[in-house]
Amino acid sequence: MLKFLLEEDLFEPLRTFHQRGGALYGTCAGTILLARAVQNPAQQSLALLDIEIQRNGYGRQLESHLGATPCPELGEPDLPLVMIRAPIISATGADVHVLAKWRGQPAFVREGRVLATTFHPELTTDTRIHAYFLEVAACIR
């Protein structure tokens, strides 16, 4: 994804979109791209979300797993989590709201109109995060 963004010169258009008030949502590798700082390995990123992130934070593919976790912002039931070689958010800035955690680490975060999850809601039938994103984009949340 990083290679593609660089090859297609998409860094600046995405930053401009954000600057003009556009909403962004990253899942997993998308969250890595949005982060202020990436480790394991260090790499360039958009730095549109004030988090530090460790790629493959749980380990290799064998450590991919399912789970469920509470998300007070979205109500009951717990959010289903699909963690595929998921990253771990290791630090969050003062303006970042942690909306859900997994194993003690932020798993769903928001800073203004930027949302990010370390898991894949698109692989479940639970559409609450996508609906929430649309509301954030429409400035009604």
Assess 121 for contact with ligand GLN (CB under 6 A).
Answer: no
DSSP state of 123: G
Contacts for 118 with CB less than 8 Å, ≥ 6 apart? 28, 31, 57, 83, 86, 87, 88, 89, 102, 105, 106, 107, 108
d(CA 45, CA 71): 27
Give yes or no: 139 in active site: no
Give yes or no: 122 in active site: yes
Assess 32 for contact with ligand GLN (CB under 6 A).
Answer: yes
Tokens of 135: 């509301």
Q: Which is nearer to ligand GLN, 32 or 48 (CB)?
A: 32
Name the catalytic one among 18, 28, 71, 111.
28
Give me the residue label for tokens 């493959």: 56
> Of 10-18, 81-89, 109-117, 122-130, which segment contacts ligand GLN by CB under 6 A?
81-89
User: Pick from 5, 10, 29, 91: which binds ligand GLN (CB under 6 A)?
Assistant: 29
Assess 56 for contact with ligand GLN (CB under 6 A).
Answer: yes
Q: How far is the CB of 140 from ligand GLN (least distance, A)?
A: 29
3-state secondary structure of 95: coil
Give yes or no: 28 in active site: yes
Q: Which is nearer to ligand GLN, 32 or 100 (CB)?
A: 32
Name the catalytic one among 63, 97, 122, 130.
122
Where residue 48 falls (left for φ over 0; alpha for ψ -120 to 50; beta otherwise) is alpha
Residues making contact with ligand GLN (CB under 6 A):
28-29, 32, 55-56, 84-85, 87
